[in-house]
Every structure is written in structure tokens, then in C-alpha cells.
């Protein structure tokens, strides 16, 4: 196959194929990909190239009709790669033992879940209730959450991929809503000769914050990064050649900074927990009219008191004359890029399940997937979720060791 040197998707696919096409797996998995129906979700878990790799390793893939449409992957693309096209979500769930999703299960999808199935998807802790976990444990489901998948190196690969996209996109979004036609101040982020740039305050010093800072600096904005983790601030300051201004995110500094900022990017994360709320209603009220808030952690509860979840079809609202953009799934708006990124991380994990001989055997061997498991059989397996929802839990290692 001839490859256009500028076609980055094909280059990425060939690189993935080089490393992943192997002999047939220990077991043949039946993998289901239902169409996403919630919150303007446009991504899909696998590309046709990913399907081809899994098929070459002896697995069967069932994908719901139209699942890849929003990411510009057609049913024909998937069928040509070896997938079977299913005509309903219910059909996908009935035929599959491993379900790959982007968004958490909807109430309707929970009804479709078969006993002892395995589900790999996002969890969106800020929107979950105890009933979600109770429904999965009743059906003896193995649930693996993107937010918890962490390798032995301490890295969260899926979270990192999506946070890189989110960070970059958050600044593009803010620049758009700073324009007059969007109700903003009519200010360019970067300014021009003789006109000072806009000021961007980024809350948090993690991956989302890093990519937001890189993008904002690329626009030419003045960038402040605020967090309570001095080591993270120091690391980010060094990584960005000291082109950012850093400060501890205490009330004094926040109150002062928010009075003159043009944009706030909320990116404060708490691993396996809701995001801490750093910005109060009074602080938002002190901001300049026409300023913009992009709360990128709204799916974890948000880090700004005035934030509430919105959707891509109705993304913004005003509080104190400040525009709030609080869409939980920002990467969904660049669905093709996000799908390729998700595929590149998920395919090796699915292959690992097949090579190990099934999900239980794989959890013994694969640290990342074991860390990612939040329900196993009839038990909640995360202490943080137990505290958050006041539910009993058991350690995943104990459950596997006891042959449950």
C-alpha cells in the first residue's frame, strides 16, 4: 500500500501494525462496540485499522451500524476490516463478552448488559451515583474505567491522551468565545505589536494544564499557572523554559489574579476523586465582563463554583457576565483525532486480554488493567469509590487470589 508522507493517520496505523500483529491469541474474544448515544459523544473506541489488527489476531468484532459516522469512519470501512455490523445496541451486547465504549453505560445500556460481561469505558465520576455500581455488581460485571487505568510507570495512558487534546482544545475554545460575535471582550489572546496580549490563568499543573499552557503560549498570551503542588509547578515551569508565571492556588493569589484575567482554564484533577473547587462565586463575580471560563474537569465535578455541565449542542452559559464553557467531553469535538488516539491505546490492552486467555487471567498479569478495575464480579474494588458513595469494597488482588 502506498502511503502519502503527509498522511499521519496511515503512518500511525503502519507503526501500530508493525508492533501488534502477532500469532493468534490464546482465546478468541467477542468484542462489541455499541454506538454512543449520550451527550453529543462523537468518538468511537476503535478505528477500522484497529479492527483489522484484532481480527488478524483471531478476535471477532461486532460494531453497531453508524457507530463511526461522526468520526468519519463508515460501516463499509469497518466491514472491510473484518467487523460484523450489528443493527442495534442490544444486538451488540448480546453477541459480545467484552464491550468497548467511550461514555459510561446509559440506563438503557445497563439493561442490555449480560451477566459476567466485561466493560471498558470512561466513568465520569462527577456524574455517577451508587445505583450505577450496584447495577453492575448485581450482574457480576468486570468494569474497567479509563480514569483508573495506570501502568507500572505511574502513567495514565488513556487519560493522558484525552487530556493532551483537552488542554489544546480548551485554549482554542477560549479564543473563540473572546470574540465579539461570541459575546466576548473582542480581545485576541496574543495581541499584536503595541497591544498587550490577553491573560490566561490555568488552574492545575497536570497534563491538561501543560497542553493548555503550550497552546496559550503559542497564541502569544500571558500565562499564569496556579496549583497547590509546588513540585508540579516547578516541573511545568522548567518544561516550558520559564515562559509561564506560577503561583500557589491560595485564596489571596486567586482573588487577585481573577480580577485581571481574561480566561480561566480549570484543570485541577484529583486522581480517582472529584475535582477540588478552587474558585468561589464571589471570585467569578469579580472577573471582567466578557471573560471566559473553560472548566475542563466538569466530568469530575468541576473546579469552579459557578460551573455546571453543558453539551456540544448548547455549550455555554453566562454567570456574572462571564461566559462558562463546561462540556465534559471536549475531545469529542475532534472525534477523528480522538478516536485514533483512543484506538492506539486500547488495541494493545485488548490483545493482552486475548493473549492471557481472558479477562481474569489478564488482570493477574497486566498492572494497568488491574489498576483500572473498579468493579469485579459482585464487588466494588476501589477504596476511593467506597468512600465517595458509602459502599463496601474489596481489593481486586484479594478477589482474584481467592478464585472468585
Distance of alpha carbon 339 from alpha carbon 303, whole angstroms? 27
Alpha-carbon gap, residue 297 to 164, rounded angstroms: 13
Counting other chains too, the contacts that 11-18 makes at CB distance below 8 Å and 24 or more residues apart are 12/340, 12/344, 13/47, 13/49, 16/49, 16/50, 16/53, 16/344, 16/347, 17/49, 17/52, 17/53
Mutual orientation of helices 207-219 and 157-177 as an angle, nearest 10°? 40
The x, y and z cell numbers of residue 195, run together, are 497591544
Please check whether residue 330 is in contact with residue 306, taking contact to mean a CB–CB distance below 8 angstroms. Answer: no
Torsion of CA 159, 162, 165, 169, to 10 degrees: -100
Q: What is the DSSP letter of 126?
A: G
* Residue for grid cell 481474569: 360
Phi/psi of residue 202, nearest 5 degrees: -110, 120
DSSP annotation string for 238-278: HHTTT-SEEEE--HHHHHHHHHH-SEEEE----TTSPPP--
Catalytic-labelled residue, pool 295, 299, 324, 379: 299
Annotated catalytic residue 299: yes
- Active-site option among 59, 124, 163, 379: 124
Is 124 one of the catalytic residues?
A: yes
The answer to whether the CB of 40 falls within 8 A of the CB of 76 is no
Report the catalytic residues: 124, 299
Amino acid at each position: 500500500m502506498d502511503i502519502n508522507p503527509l498522511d499521519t493517520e496511515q503512518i500511525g496505523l503502519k507503526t501500530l501494525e508493525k508492533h501488534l500483529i502477532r500469532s493468534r491469541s490464546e482465546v478468541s474474544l467477542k468484542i462489541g462496540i455499541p454506538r454512543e448515544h449520550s451527550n453529543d459523544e462523537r468518538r468511537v473506541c476503535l478505528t477500522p485499522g484497529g479492527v483489522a489488527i484484532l481480527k488478524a489476531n483471531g478476535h471477532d468484532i461486532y460494531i453497531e451500524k453508524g457507530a463511526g459516522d461522526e468520526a468519519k469512519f463508515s460501516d463499509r470501512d469497518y466491514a472491510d476490516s473484518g467487523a460484523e455490523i450489528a443493527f442495534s445496541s442490544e444486538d451488540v451486547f448480546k453477541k459480545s463478552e467484552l464491550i468497548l465504549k467511550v461514555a459510561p453505560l446509559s440506563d438503557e445500556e445497563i439493561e442490555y448488559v449480560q451477566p459476567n460481561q466485561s466493560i471498558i469505558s470512561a466513568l465520569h465520576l462527577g456524574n455517577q451515583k451508587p445505583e450505577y455500581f450496584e447495577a453492575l455488581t448485581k450482574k457480576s460485571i468486570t468494569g474497567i474505567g479509563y480514569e483508573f487505568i495506570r501502568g507500572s510507570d505511574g502513567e495514565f495512558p488513556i487519560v493522558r491522551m484525552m487530556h493532551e487534546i483537552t488542554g489544546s482544545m480548551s485554549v482554542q475554545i477560549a479564543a473563540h468565545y473572546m470574540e465579539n460575535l461570541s459575546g466576548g471582550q473582542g480581545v485576541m489572546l496574543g495581541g499584536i505589536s503595541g497591544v498587550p496580549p490577553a491573560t490566561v490563568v490555568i488552574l492545575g499543573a497536570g497534563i491538561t494544564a501543560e497542553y493548555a499552557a503550550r497552546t496559550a503560549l503559542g497564541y502569544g498570551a500571558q500565562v499564569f499557572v496556579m496549583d497547590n503542588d509546588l513540585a508540579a509547578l516547578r516541573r511545568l515551569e522548567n518544561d516550558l523554559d520559564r515562559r509561564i508565571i506560577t503561583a500557589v492556588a491560595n485564596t489571596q493569589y486567586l482573588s487577585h489574579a481573577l480580577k485581571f484575567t481574561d480566561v480561566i482554564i480549570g484543570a485541577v484533577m484529583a486522581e480517582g476523586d472529584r475535582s477540588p473547587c478552587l474558585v468561589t462565586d464571589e471570585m467569578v463575580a469579580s472577573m471582567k465582563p466578557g471573560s471566559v471560563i473553560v472548566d475542563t474537569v466538569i466530568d469530575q465535578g468541576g473546579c469552579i463554583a459557578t460551573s455546571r455541565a453543558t453539551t456540544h449542542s448548547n455549550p455555554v452559559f453566562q454567570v456574572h457576565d462571564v461566559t462558562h464553557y463546561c462540556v465534559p467531553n471536549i475531545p469529542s469535538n475532534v472525534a477523528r483525532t480522538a478516536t485514533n488516539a483512543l484506538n492506539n491505546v486500547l488495541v494493545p490492552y485488548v490483545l493482552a486480554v486475548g493473549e492471557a486467555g481472558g479477562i481474569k487471567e489478564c488482570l493477574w498479569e497486566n498492572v494497568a488493567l488491574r489498576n483500572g478495575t473498579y468493579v469485579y464480579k459482585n464487588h466494588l474494588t476501589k477504596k476511593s469509590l467506597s468512600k465517595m458513595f458509602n459502599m463496601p469494597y474489596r481489593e481486586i488482588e484479594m478477589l482474584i487470589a481467592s478464585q472468585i
